Structure 1
Amino acid sequence: MINFVLLINSQGKVRLTKWYSPYNQKERTKVICELSGLILTRGPKLCNFVEWRGYKVVYRRYASLYFCMCIDADDNELEVLEIIHHFVEILDRYFGTVCELDLIFNFHKAYYVLDEILIAGELQESSKKNVARLIAAQDSVVEEAKEEAGSISNIIAQATN
């Protein structure tokens, strides 16, 4: 089971977090500080697995972002590396070569993608096409809601004039 997902840039700033195990805010802050210090100081030729507090942290660097997932000690690290790569490929498809700014300004869309792939810390959807289809449907619902809200506000504005 995946306990949490962290996206950290090379300066140690958190860009996305998703917690599947209960941690209070103080523990979350401590975990982020510990892991960012641990992962960012590792050399590029070292393996992408770190044992930490009885868990394993699997991470992978893409450009300036570190995608980290904390798993149980007996889980398969290579499977989690594939999940990370799967997540990045879907983000690339959606944003067209995803970068840190895409995640900063469209963080809600990155959460949509992550929520379609993982549910309760377990892989739920391995098909990139299905995830892309579901995200496109979600985007169309959001656009329709924006248009409807705009037309309602126009009606109200006309009625008050």
Structure 2
Amino acid sequence: MTTSRREQLVVQAVPGTHGTTVTARGHELTIDEAPRYGGHDSGANPVEHLLAGIAAASLVVLRLLGEVAIAESAALTVSASLNVDRVMGADDGPVVELIRLDWEVANAAHAERLRAALPHLASRRPGQALIDAASTSTEEVSVRESTAACG
């Protein structure tokens, strides 16, 4: 019987004068809200950090799946519709109503390979539970338009 590797991940959050300072392995992040939610807008908000984590984790897992060339040239935009009233305790609907993952790749061959890899990526992606908890989620792949100048 083989034992799976485990890694303990730890972050520490402390309030600061302008947002929250989070430390992970000596790396500091400033997390803050927009002024309309009582913050100073001195950093991305907590949900934006979650989305950034999903985007980065997606690219890492894509590399682990052997699609290094795609991971190194793809652009991934992750967007979500947050039910702010649920966060504030005034609604009982899903916290995240819609989450979209929009991949843009260099060419049609990359698009085909990425589409084939998406189920494997989803089964291994850290943060997939947030995507699965959204009332609606989509993951789309498109080919980047050529930026070559027309002459």
TM-score by length of 2: 0.31
TM-score by length of 1: 0.30
Larger fraction in strand: 2
Larger fraction in helix: 1
- Which structure is richer in relative contact order (CA contacts within 8 A, separation 6 or more)? 1
